[in-house]
Structure formats: structure tokens, C-alpha cells
């Protein structure tokens, strides 16, 4: 653990700064590309669908490899895994900035940056957890890291739009490369607590099964915006052969069934490996911790609401109000400020209230923010009508992001941090994908989305928040302790 002496405080700043910057850049990469899709397609002489595929593959790669990436932290070491992720990510960013065509862009952005994210994100939360045994102090630094992640996700469209407008879309990848290089230099000063016990063996079969399962589940969710959730809006074809005709069952369920089958196989594999006394990729006993399970549910819902609401508001003000990318990013600023303010105050909140109380308060505040958007915003209403709702939503999400991570990570001892961090990040990715997909499918269901469809999409997210609030209500009010 890092001491609280002046020297210790310097060590804290030295460690938390690169971790927060890395979380910022990973979140930024997940949202900034959306504002430059048409520009990139024109420059690379390809289609908008191809660029959207590249963005989808980035999400899928990151989601599928998050659990295996977290296990490598126990084998390679947390700091080494973090730096390795930065190197892979930076290589991908540089390659994407030089891409002559869609193939190289997919290799650099979708694959290498996705793999890099899966390697560097789990150590971020593990290092903060194992460095601070005091849950209130830990909450403060989780707040910094989570705030950086929220800022990256929220400001990604604005920053990406500014860079694309002032320079080019390639400059955005150059900026990522330079920032990642700076983070790698700062990471040399990270002090990693010495590991206890021998390093486990890597479960390759488990890694393949979990990656396949998460890939198909997330891919199926993302396909809902094209085909719908129930009956398919169009033919689903493979190699020119119609597998599922329009009007039949949506292929979403086909992909999710395949994913569920792989995940079931994965669970059976883990049980078999544990019974044989071998190291599994993920210990099944993690799922027997009730507090952690509830925290994982709230994490999933939080990211679903965050990404879903940003998507709905962005599409509304671009399609209905005619805003461009930069104007859209500026309009979302109140939500960004709310996330930053509540994340910055995470340590102070944790000293005064249990984490479970903060999660509940976050959901209530978020629901209030959505209600204000529904009550005040109309097709022709003033821009000021967006501010109260967006600010409250950001404030609520910022409180929850920090508190839920603290609930989950603090429910286990140091030796389990690698596994629970990967699981935690995986459900966050799942929630992000689900938020965009659910909100998007509601909007796409209308031939010409209007205010009614956007209100319905926001109402759907409010219902999801209510489900998250119910889960949070059963989290014990006493702060979780490892062990």
C-alpha cells in the first residue's frame, strides 16, 4: 500500500495520472470516430458501412478480450501488462493514421487498438485497488479515473469533431499516438505492489471460449439497430443465401444464442478445470459474492444509460435540430461537467456515505435528469432546455461509475483483482453496447424518427435506470471489505 507521507502523496500522483490518462484515451477512442465516418469513407474511397464495421469491430475486439487480458495481469504483472497495452494501442493508432485503405484502418484501429485496450484497461483498476486499502481513499482515485473515462466518452465527439474540422481525421490518431507515448513515459514511475504467490498458468481454451461467447453476444446486440429485436426488418443473408427472411425471427437472437452456447461451454470448462485443480481463466466462486453481483448489474445499467442517452440526444439534435458534430459536442457539455464534478467529489462522498447509498442516489439523480429532458425538451425548444436534464444525468452517472466500481473491486482480496477487473470491464462494455443498440433500435423502428420516438427511447433508458435502482437497493449499506 502507498503511504500517506509527502513522498507517498507524490507516488500517488505519479501513479494515478498515467492511469487516468489511459482510461481517458480508451474511452475517447470508443466515441470520437462517429463524427468523422463520412469524412473517413470519402478519404479512403470506401463506404460508410465499412467505417461503421471498423467501429463495431473495435468494440467487439475490446469486449471479447477483456477477460483474457485481465488474466494476463496475474501472469505478466499489472504494470507490465499496462505498458504492453499502451505499446500495442500506440502502434495501432500510428498505423491507422497512415492507413491507405479500409484494411489497414481495421488492422490498426479495430484490432490493434482493441487488443491494446483489453490489455491496458484492467490494470488501471487493479493498480488503484491494490495500492489503497482505505475504501474512502480508494474512492477518491477511482473518481479521478472514472471521471477521466466519462470525460473521454462524453467529449470524444466534440474533440474528434474539432480535430477533424481543423486538421483531419488522421490527426486524431496521431494525437492518440503521442498521448499514449507520453503515458508510457509517465508509467515508468508507477510502483506496483509485489505479487503474492506463483503466477497462474494461462487458460488458452477458456480464453477462446469466453472471447467467442462475448463476441457473438455483443455482435448480436449491435445488429438490433439493423434487423430489430423481434421480427427481422430485412433479409439476413450469408454468402448470398437468405438464412432468415424479412418478417421472420430477428438474427439478433441467432447470434445471441450462439454466444450463449459458447458462454455455457465456457462455464462448464471452468468447472472442469477447477475440479482438476488447474488454474481457470475465471474462478466461478467470483459469482457467489452477492454484493459484487449486484454491483456488476448496476455497472451494466450505468454504462447502458450513459452511452444510450448520449446516442439518443446526439441523434435528436442532429436529425431534428440540424446540429453539426461540434455543436453536438458542445450541447453535451453539461453532462460532461456533471460527470467531472461528481467524480471529483467521489472521495468526499465516500467519507460521508456508504457506496451503496451513492449508487442509489446516482440512479435517482439520473432518472430525474431523464425526466427533465422529457418534460422540457421539444422539437423547437431553446437550447437552454437541455441543460438541467443533461447536467443531472451526468451528475448521477458520475456518482455511480465510481461507487459501483468500488463496490465490485473492494469485494475481493488482492489475488482476485485481475479476474474481477476483467469481468467488471466486460460487463461495462456489454452495457455500453446494449445502450446504443436498445436506443438505436427504438429510433430505427420509425421510418422518420420524430420527437415521439426520441421520447420513447429516453423512457426506455429511464426504465433501465429503475431496474438498476432496484438492484442497488439490495447492495448492503456497509462498505464492502475484501475477504
C-alpha cell at 482: 475484501
Q: Which fold has domain 6-202+281-473?
A: Growth Hormone; Chain: A; (1.20.1250)
The pLDDT value recorded for residue 196 is: 64
Beta strands 241-244 and 236-238 are: antiparallel
pLDDT along the chain (483 residues), means of 10: 46 78 86 76 84 80 86 86 94 94 93 92 84 74 78 77 84 93 90 69 89 87 78 79 82 91 94 88 87 91 85 77 74 84 78 87 94 87 88 89 83 79 81 76 56 81 93 78 42
Q: Please tell me the predicted confidence (pLDDT) of residue 447.
A: 42
State the Rg of the chain over Cα: 21
The rounded distance, in Å, linking the Cα atoms of 132 and 280 is: 27
**Given the C-alpha cell 467521489, which residue does it identify?**
346
Q: Which residues contact 2 (CB under 8 A, 6 or more apart)?
A: 8, 11, 12, 15, 131, 132, 191
218: Cβ contacts below 8 Å, ≥ 6 apart: 59, 60, 63, 64, 259, 429, 430, 433
Q: Which three cell numbers stand for residue 336?
A: 460532461
For the chain, count helices (H), then strands (E). Answer: 19, 2
What is the pLDDT at residue 13?
64
Domain range list for the chain: 6-202+281-473, 203-280
* CA pair distance 241, 221, nearest whole angstrom: 22
Closest CA to 50 of 438, 42, 314: 42
Give the span between the Cα atoms of 120 and 117, in whole angstroms: 5
CA distance from start to end of the chain: 17
pLDDT at 445: 56
Q: How many CA atoms lie within 13 A of 363 on its CB side?
A: 28
pTM given for the model: 0.80
- Alpha-carbon distances, residue 219 vs 105, 380, 416 (angstroms): 20, 36, 29
Q: What pLDDT score does 7 carry?
A: 41
Amino acid at each position: 500500500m502507498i503511504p500517506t507521507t509527502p513522498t507517498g502523496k507524490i507516488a500517488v500522483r505519479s501513479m494515478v495520472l498515467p492511469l487516468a490518462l489511459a482510461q481517458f484515451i480508451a474511452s475517447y477512442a470508443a466515441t470520437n470516430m462517429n463524427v468523422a465516418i463520412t469524412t473517413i469513407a470519402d478519404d479512403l474511397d470506401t463506404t460508410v458501412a465499412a467505417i461503421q464495421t471498423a467501429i463495431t469491430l473495435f468494440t467487439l475486439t475490446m469486449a471479447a478480450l477483456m477477460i483474457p487480458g485481465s488474466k494476463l495481469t496475474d501472469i505478466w504483472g499489472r504494470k507490465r501488462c499496462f505498458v504492453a497495452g499502451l505499446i500495442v494501442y500506440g502502434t495501432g493508432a500510428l498505423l491507422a493514421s497512415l492507413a491507405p485503405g479500409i484494411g489497414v484502418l481495421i488492422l490498426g484501429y479495430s484490432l490493434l487498438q482493441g487488443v491494446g485496450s483489453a490489455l491496458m484497461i484492467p490494470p488501471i483498476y487493479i493498480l488503484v485497488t491494490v495500492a489503497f486499502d482505505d475504501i474512502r481513499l480508494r474512492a477518491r482515485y477511482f473518481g479521478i479515473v472514472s471521471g477521466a473515462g466519462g470525460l473521454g466518452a462524453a467529449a470524444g465527439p466534440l474533440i474528434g469533431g474539432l480535430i477533424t474540422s481543423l486538421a483531419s481525421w488522421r490527426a486524431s490518431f496521431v494525437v492518440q499516438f503521442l498521448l499514449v507515448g507520453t503515458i508510457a513515459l509517465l508509467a515508468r514511475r508507477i510502483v506496483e505492489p509485489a505479487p503474492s504467490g506463483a503466477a497462474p498458468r494461462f487458460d488458452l481454451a477458456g480464453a477462446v471460449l469466453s472471447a467467442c461467447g462475448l463476441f457473438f453476444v455483443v455482435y448480436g446486440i449491435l445488429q438490433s439497430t439493423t434487423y430489430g429485436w423481434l421480427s427481422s426488418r430485412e433479409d439476413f443473408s450469408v454468402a448470398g443465401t437468405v438464412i432468415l427472411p424479412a418478417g421472420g425471427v430477428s438474427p439478433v437472437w441467432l447470434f445471441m444464442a450462439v454466444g450463449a452456447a459458447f458462454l455455457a461451454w465456457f462455464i462448464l470448462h471452468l468447472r472442469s478445470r477447477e475440479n482438476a485443480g488447474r488454474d481457470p481463466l475465471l474462478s466461478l466462486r467470483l459469482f457467489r459474492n452477492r454484493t459484487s453481483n449486484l454491483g456488476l448489474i448496476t455497472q451494466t445499467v450505468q454504462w447502458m444509460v450513459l452511452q444510450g442517452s448520449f446516442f439518443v440526444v446526439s441523434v435528436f439534435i442532429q436529425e431534428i435540430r440540424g446540429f453539426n458534430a461540434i455543436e453536438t459536442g458542445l450541447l453535451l457539455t453539461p453532462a460532461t461537467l456533471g460527470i467531472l464534478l461528481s467524480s471529483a467529489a467521489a472521495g468526499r462522498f465516500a467519507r460521508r456515505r456508504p457506496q451503496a447509498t451513492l449508487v442509489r442516489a446516482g440512479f435517482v439523480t439520473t432518472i430525474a435528469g431523464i425526466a427533465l429532458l422529457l418534460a422540457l425538451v421539444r422539437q423547437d425548444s431553446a437550447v437552454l432546455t437541455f441543460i438541467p436534464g443533461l447536467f443531472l444525468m451526468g451528475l448521477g452517472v458520475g456518482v455511480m461509475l465510481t461507487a459501483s466500481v468500488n463496490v465490485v473491486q473492494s469485494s475481493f482480496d488482492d489475488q482476485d483483482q485481475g479476474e474481477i477487473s476483467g469481468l467488471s470491464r466486460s460487463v461495462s462494455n456489454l452495457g455500453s453496447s446494449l445502450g446504443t443498440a436498445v436506443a438505436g433500435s427504438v429510433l430505427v423502428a420509425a421510418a422518420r424518427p420524430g420527437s415521439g420516438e426520441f421520447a420513447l427511447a429516453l423512457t426506455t433508458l429511464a426504465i433501465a435506470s429503475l431496474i438498476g435502482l432496484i438492484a442497488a437497493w439490495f447492495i448492503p449499506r456497509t462498505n464492502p471489505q475484501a475477504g
